[in-house]
Structures are given as C-alpha cells and as structure tokens.
Amino acid sequence: MSDFEYPRPQLVRDNWQSLNGMWQFAYDDERRYCRPDQNIEWTHEIRVPYAPETKLSGIHDMGFHEVVWYRLEFDMDSRDERTILHFGAVDYEAKVWVNDRLVAQHQGGHTSFSADITDALVEGKRQVIVLRAEDDPHDLAKPRGKQDWQLEPHSIWYPRTTGIWQTVWLEQVPATYIRQVRWTPHFDGFEIGCEVRAGGDRREKLTVEVKLWHGKNLLADDEYKLMGQEANRKIAISDPGIDDSRNELLWSPERPTLLDVELTLRCDGVVLETVRSYTALRSVAINRDRFMMNGRPYPLRLVLDQGYWPDSGITAPNDEALKRDVELAKLMGFNGVRKHQKIEDPRYLYWADKLGLLVWEEMPSAYSFSPKSMTRLIKEWQEAIERDYSHPCVIVWVPFNESWGVPNLTSMQAHRNAVEALYHMTRMMDSTRPVIGNDGWEASATDILGIHDYDSDPQRLKARYEVSDPARTLFDQRRPGGRILTLDGFPHRGQPIVLTEFGGIAFDTKAPETDTWGYSRANTAEAFYEHYTALLKVVNETQMFSGFCYTQFADTYQEANGLLNADRTPKIPFEKISAATRSVQLVVQDPPEPN
C-alpha cells in the first residue's frame, strides 16, 4: 500500500497502480554491469521511493556510490490498450528496462519522466522492471542543489540523494489519450487558457469537452476540435465586476478557490476517456516597486524551506507530511515559501494550491561553470517549468541562487550571459510570472531584486534599508554579504525589492554549538523569540521591501536555524511565531474563571 496519493494531481485517472514498496537493490561500485540480463547480484532490498542514503529506505548507507541498480517483479492489476510507466524523479541518470527491453533513458535528478511500455509487456500478469541509476557524487557540473560532495555534510550542504526518490507508478490509457493539460489564467479578461494535447495513436476527428465548475456551479461546458493532436482555447468566465463577488472566484492564500475540471476526449463522437483536473483564476505581476496579486499590491511573507525530513531526506515520509508542511507554514503566519534548491514533489504543490500557499520555485544549482553544466541545467529547468506551469501556487521562477554555478559574474561575460539567457528563456516559456535571474546579489536581468542579508542586528538592518535614496546609498555604497547588489550596466530600475534571505537564528538546546550551523545564535527560547520578533518588526515596517523570506522553516541536519525542529515541532509556541511573523500584537487569552 502506497503512502502517497495520485502523483500527478492536475491530470487524474482512476486506472493507476503504485509501484512503491520493496524492490531488489544492488550497488555497482566497480561498474560490472551494463544490462539487466548479466546476472546482477541483488544484495539488498530497498523501500521505494526513499533514497538508499535514508533510514526509511531500509539501507541508510551514506557512503560514495556512483551506480545503483533496482529490480521489481510486479503483477499487472489491469490492462488497457496502453500502459505508461512513470518515475517522479531519479537522481541523476536513469536507464529503464521492462522484461529486458530498454524503454526509457533520462538525465536530470529533479524532474519526472515516462515511457509507454505496452510493447515490452509479456503474456500473463508477471512483469519485471530494472532501473540503473548513475549519480557521480563528486560531479559539480550537474544540478545537485544542497547535496554535499564531501563524505560528511559540511556547512550548509546535506547528505546526497541517489536513485529513485519520488513515486513510481503505472497507468492504463486508451490507444489515443490525453497526454497533457496546461492551464493559463488571464485575470484581466476573466478567462482561463486551456491547452490539451493528445498522445498515442494519431486520429482524425478528435474533440475534447471541457467542463469547469466552481463548487457545484457549472461555469463552462465547451467542446473543442483538436488540430494536429492539440487544442488551445480560452474559456471566458462571467465577470461579476464587484470585488466581493469577484473574490469568490479568485485564488489567493486567503481564499484558495480552485475550479474543478472534467475533460472528455472523443473520436468522431465516441468517448475515448475522461480525466479530472483543476485550475484557478489569479494573476501575479510587477507594478513599479510592488508585487501584485489579482491586481492589488500584495506583501510577501515567505519562509525559506529546504524540503528535507530527518529519516527520508528530500522525500517526504508520506503524503500527510507534505500537507502538514503547507499547514505549518500558514500556521506560522507566512503566506508563501521559497523552496530552496529543490524542485518539489507535485503533491506538495497540490496541497499549496488547495490550502493556499505561495511557492517560489528555484532551480537546484550546479557548482562549476562549463557548457556541459549549463546544458544540463537548461534542460532540467525547462522540464521543471513545463511540469509545474499550471499550478496556481507557483508565483516566481528562480533559475540561479547567489551566483552558484556562475561565480564570476562581476568579471566574466560568459557567466553573465548564462544568467541573462536563462532569465529570457524562462520569460519565453512563461510570460505570466516574474523571474529572478540570480537571487541574492549580483543581479542583472531580473523582475524582482532579491537581497540576502544575514546581519543579526535589527537596528543595523533598519539603518541599512530605511534610506531616502537607495540608488546611491544602497546600490552604490553598501554591500550586504560583501557582494554588490546589481552588476554594472544593470542599475536598479524600480523593480520590487524583496529581502529573500535573512535571520537564520540558530537555537537548539539538544546539540552543542560545534555541531550546528546558524548565522546568529540564541541560547534560550525567550531570547530566540525576542530576536525573531525584533528582526521581523524591522522587515515588516521597512517601506522599501515588497516582501521578505525568513531563513528558515525547519532545522535541516546540521543547520539549527529553523523556526521548527527537524521533526516539525515548534521551538516556541505557534501563536508567538505567527504574531511575530506578521508583527501584530500577541493576544493572550485569559484563563477561564474558576467555578
């Protein structure tokens, strides 16, 4: 039984089968094998989808291993005209065989891939999948995020992730089926863009019926003809005009209204299949120095979230843990998260859509610059944008962080070109969301100026950013973190300024300081609360900022600077965190009078 629900929440079929669970497993440090028919010695069992470095995998080997193998014998629960095999994510290079037939190859440790395995299936119920994953732990030219290249985690880097780390699953589809659905909200016209792409056998006279609901209220019931296996239309929704009525239809963290969708694919009037989806009507934009949501200035209160769990690494223990992390961010007074150096599981994005939490999506970094590293990064970033484009919770794309992978932005044109190229490529792929070319400092092409500043003194922070002439005093004279904020030739053009990393107060009564990391320290819960409250008061009251992102959500391995412990228990009461995050007066309930 899987601990995870349907893995692709915006294109749902009933006929699917999870392959999570116990698989055979083997290390191949000597690279003895290249095919599954070579009598591989299966020395271990592993619990998928947890990486072998984690406790929940059942292996918990954190050493250096470049090649690993997986094997699963499984029964087909049912069989339609086509069978599609899906992998949520495999780090880093994967080859997949079904019944000794190569069906898929994929490079990129954070994005999903699929294969039509119909022709590889054999008679009867019993089938065999074998996967080979190659993940060089020392390769700094691949997007690896926070995965350490040293044996033991150091500084701000964490244990490695090798092989399968998201759900493996099958689905049954007809010979011609709905392969992709893509949603684009058009707030100004009160319209929803709908793109439907068919897969499988090409057929003429294909149509798709789209039904759109707000609760029980049917908003649209349209049928479109597919041209070249695709349909691309706008669905107009009646605009009530008055804000109160409009707000009932608009998605925001305060009112996360989702519109349910049913799509039916037909060929010459005959139903081929029906799938479920959802979308939302909302806008995100930049207007001068403010971030805008649904046509209004919207202050951003974000928390930096690494997306790790103590016993399962970058894989959540189960679906409930993903939901709980969304709930906890909101409970602490935040309206969004900056997912740091991780492309998060689509189930997390589903819960953020459903419960109302903004998400900044950031590409995991490579740490060396070369044509090879940039080619890898571009390919994987394109896949991430394509996969997560339709989630209303995703509001900003961030291809680079703190010049990681492009360390010589101030002196080398090629590094600058890489940032500018990915900024423009991202804007080309999605013109509806802001893009931060390089978050933290050394900005060039960007829609938002993100600043990282870990000064622990609230008064110094206030003095630095409460300035009357930021173009001169901030961008020319002061250098948070010792870095210039904008590169030569890219002066601040009035974009919104967001303090995208600050704080990082370490507080852990259970671990000695020598074993933990933080940008500043508190020794008691009261000192932690007072320091957090003072920092957040300054940031909330600084008119220059259009928002902020506090470091960080939860303790992560040696980093003890979370608002929560690693097990998601709060270091101080939730009501105190929430009040301080929003800089509002904490309301203390009087105890009931004794009888």
Question: What's the Cα-to-Cα distance from 577 to each of 99, 299, 527, rounded to whole Å?
Answer: 54, 18, 13
Percent of the chain with pLDDT over 70: 95
The pLDDT tens digits for 234-243 are 999 887 777 6
DSSP 134-165: E--TT-TTS--TTB-SSSS--TT-B----EE-
CA angle 278, 284, 285 (to 5 degrees): 155
Q: Taking residues 415-419, what's their average pLDDT?
A: 97
- Measured in whole angstroms, the distance separating CA 387 from the mean position of its chain's CA atoms is 10
Q: Average per-residue pLDDT in the chain?
A: 93
Q: Taking residues 274-301, what's their average pLDDT?
A: 96
Q: Taking residues 160-170, what's their average pLDDT?
A: 97
CATH number given to 176-279: 2.60.40.10
Percent of the chain with pLDDT over 90: 83
Q: What is the pLDDT of residue 1?
A: 41
Cα gap 348→346, rounded to integer Å: 5
CATH class of 299-582: alpha beta
Q: Per-residue confidence at 472, pLDDT binned at 50, 70, 90?
A: low
Q: Which superfamily, per CATH, for 16-171?
A: Galactose-binding domain-like (2.60.120.260)
Bigger pLDDT: 363 or 465?
363
Q: Per-residue confidence at 123, pLDDT binned at 50, 70, 90?
A: confident
Bigger pLDDT: 590 or 159?
159
Q: What is the pLDDT of residue 301?
A: 98
pLDDT score of 594 more than 60: no
pLDDT score of 515 more than 70: no
Question: What are the φ and ψ backbone dihedral angles of 537, each rounded to 5 degrees?
Answer: -65, -45
pTM to 2 decimal places: 0.95
Cα gap 418→96, rounded to integer Å: 32
Beta-ladder partners of 207: 225, 266
Question: Any idea where the domains of the chain sit in the sequence?
Answer: 16-171, 176-279, 299-582
Residue 462 DSSP SS3 = helix
Cβ neighbors of 261 (< 8 A, separation 6 or more) are 181, 210, 211, 212, 213, 276, 277, 278, 279
Please provide the distance, in angstroms rounded to a whole number, between the alpha carbons at the two ends of the chain. Answer: 51
